Structure 1
Amino acid sequence: MQLRIYFNPAELNFVETSAEDIYIVIDVMRATTTMTIMFEQGARHVLAAQSLEQALEAGQRVPGRILCGEYHTKTPAGFDFGNSPAEFARMDLTDQELVLTTSNGTRALFACPEKSIRLVGCFYNGTAAASTALALAQEKRSNIAIVCAAEYGYFALEDAACAGYLAKELLSLSSDLTIHDSIHSAMTIYENYPPAALLEKAQSSLDLLALGQQKDLEYCLSKNNSTCVPVVTGIEAETGLLRLAYPVSELVSI
């Protein structure tokens, strides 16, 4: 089994990807942390949209869905909620369906091969995400790819550090993984920029602090507080949204 990291979803356009591989998508601040907490709070499904327009249209098509998202860290007009993990952690989302679109994270889910297994990873569910990906890769005899959402197309320090953390977790669980150069790079980044350093150094962290979102960062930068690992289970034909569910046992063929 091979393990590699893509520091930007755009890199997937320049390599021969496989729908048979297992993909872990990371957007630490904040989309993948938010999705994890949504399911912790009881959500039945989260439906990821590529754009604000797609999310709005889908929300209008199916009454009762909660419309969530952000654009440049702010909640767009017409949306019920933003992309704050701290806010969703205070909510009862039992059996709710939420539509979510974000500037980077939801788009990264779409960047992976259409019929691939895509897991949601972050610091918050790090060990669980790594062990779930490894179990699926062993079952399917496939490779594992970690995809960083990046920040508006640019390298994001927190995503790269989290990718290094997940790589270390995977390597501690299995000696059968063949690693790509990207793994060495990401693990070095994590060793030099653990969560405490990211709080002060990552631009996304500084932006959230400037907006008074300290509580969000407490969730985004805490490690292994959740065993919840959301997974893409299909595409909703009517809207084109990616449907995510938890637990992984709900996985179905797209």
Structure 2
Amino acid sequence: MPEQTERPTLEVCLSPALLHLYDLAQKIVVVIDVLRATSTICTALYHGAQKVIPVDSVEKCMEIGRQLGAVTAGERDGHIAPGLEHGNSPLEYPASFIQNKTLVLTTTNGTRLLHMAKDAEEIVIGSFLNLSAICAYLLSRNKPVMLACAGWKDRINLEDSLLAGAIIHRIKSHFDIQCDAALIVEQLYEATHHRLMEHMQQASHYQRLTRHGFQQDIAYCLTIDGANVLPVYRDGAIALA
């Protein structure tokens, strides 16, 4: 009989507050913040940004922006953070604006999680916009994977869980999955994937963003392969692989 090759593991962390429970060494971590940090990062790079520098504070964002002559952007609780030029809407970053520029970005949840995952072997950026690129990369690397959801202020959220489920749905046969969180999110995605937008209307972040008039952002962020690139986080910056 042919020799059986051992499949790499795949796990899901549903909240940054749980990340300390996992060993990230020698793992590829997919950072997921669907609404809206990782969607904005994918969009900016897809439209020609040179790189995105994620930072954890508004002050640092402004300082690095001045040093580099970069676009400074970010939000706190869904609003453009005071002192910054732009927000966290992916629709703010068409090619006509962002091409060949550096974007310095700070957000409530996603940029914080990027820094928390520093012990990983690799960190890549995941969204519905680059679902196929992420899945193809994970299959090609054939290494242990952690799908890390940014959530909302350490609370589990629906949209990040759905994306984790979508990734697992596509690649599960190539991985050893012994993680209940992975089973939960895949079952959630399988039950709702044909009506994602309708299902999202129950989500707390949907309600939060629609109160601020960001309905178009939500629809865009749920568009599969709308910005199908592979952003990789290395040496403090995110660029295309």
TM-score (norm 2): 0.90
Asked if structure 2 preserves the Cα contact closer than 8 Å seen for 1:199 and 1:206, the reply is no
Cα distance in 2 between the residues matched to 1:16 and 1:227: 29
Distance change >3 Å, CA 90–CA 203, structure 1 → 2: farther
Q: Which string of whole-angstrom CA distances, capped at 9 and with x for unpartnered residues, describes residues 65-113 of structure 1?
A: 0001000001112211000011213643221111000000111111113
Cα distance in 1 between the residues matched to 2:121 and 2:107: 21
Distance change >3 Å, CA 201–CA 151, structure 1 → 2: same
> Quick one: which amino acid aligns to residue 243 of structure 1?
A
Is 1:29 the counterpart of 2:41? The answer is: no
TM superposition shift of 1:53: 2.2
Q: Which string of whole-angstrom CA distances, capped at 9 and with x for unpartnered residues, describes residues 28-57 of structure 1?
A: 000000000001111001000012222122
> Quick one: which amino acid aligns to residue 128 of structure 2?
F
Cα distance in 1 between the residues matched to 2:155 and 2:35: 14
- Greater alpha carbon shift after TM alignment, 3-12 vs 30-39: 3-12
Aligned mate of 1:121, from 121, 126, 136: 126
Cα distance in 1 between the residues matched to 2:191 and 2:201: 13
Cα distance in 1 between the residues matched to 2:208 and 2:95: 23
Is 1:44 the counterpart of 2:50? The answer is: yes
Asked if structure 1 preserves the Cα contact closer than 8 Å seen for 2:29 and 2:120, the reply is no
- Greater alpha carbon shift after TM alignment, 85-94 vs 213-222: 85-94
- Three-state SS of the structure 1 residue aligned to 2:30 is strand
- Three-state SS of the structure 2 residue aligned to 1:201 is coil
> Quick one: which amino acid aligns to residue 223 of structure 2?
S
Is 1:112 the counterpart of 2:117? The answer is: yes
Cα distance in 2 between the residues matched to 1:13 and 1:51: 22
Asked if structure 2 preserves the Cα contact closer than 8 Å seen for 1:70 and 1:102, the reply is yes
Cα distance in 1 between the residues matched to 2:192 and 2:174: 27
Gaps of 5+ in 1: 235-241, 249-254
Cα distance in 1 between the residues matched to 2:86 and 2:119: 28
Cα distance in 1 between the residues matched to 2:65 and 2:94: 22
TM superposition shift of 1:198: 3.6
Cα distance in 2 between the residues matched to 1:9 and 1:66: 27
TM superposition shift of 1:118: 0.8
Is 1:245 the counterpart of 2:239? The answer is: yes
TM superposition shift of 1:12: 1.8
Asked if structure 1 preserves the Cα contact closer than 8 Å seen for 2:29 and 2:122, the reply is yes
Cα distance in 2 between the residues matched to 1:230 and 1:57: 24
Cα distance in 1 between the residues matched to 2:165 and 2:220: 19
Partner residue in 2 for 1:239: none
Cα distance in 2 between the residues matched to 1:198 and 1:123: 15
RMSD: 1.5
Q: Which string of whole-angstrom CA distances, capped at 9 and with x for unpartnered residues, describes residues 173-221 of structure 1?
A: xx33100222111111212343223431111111111111121112111
Asked if structure 2 preserves the Cα contact closer than 8 Å seen for 1:56 and 1:67, the reply is yes
Cα distance in 2 between the residues matched to 1:187 and 1:103: 26
Aligned mate of 2:16, from 9, 14, 28: 9
Cα distance in 2 between the residues matched to 1:193 and 1:52: 36
Aligned mate of 1:178, from 176, 179, 201: 176
Partner residue in 1 for 2:104: 99
Distance change >3 Å, CA 108–CA 198, structure 1 → 2: farther
- Three-state SS of the structure 2 residue aligned to 1:158 is helix
> Quick one: which amino acid aligns to residue 14 of structure 1?
L
Asked if structure 2 preserves the Cα contact closer than 8 Å seen for 1:128 and 1:226, the reply is no
Cα distance in 1 between the residues matched to 2:113 and 2:86: 21
> What fraction of aligned residue pairs are identical, expressed as a percent?
29
Partner residue in 2 for 1:251: none
Is 1:189 the counterpart of 2:188? The answer is: yes
> Quick one: which amino acid aligns to residue 132 of structure 2?
T
Is 1:153 the counterpart of 2:154? The answer is: yes
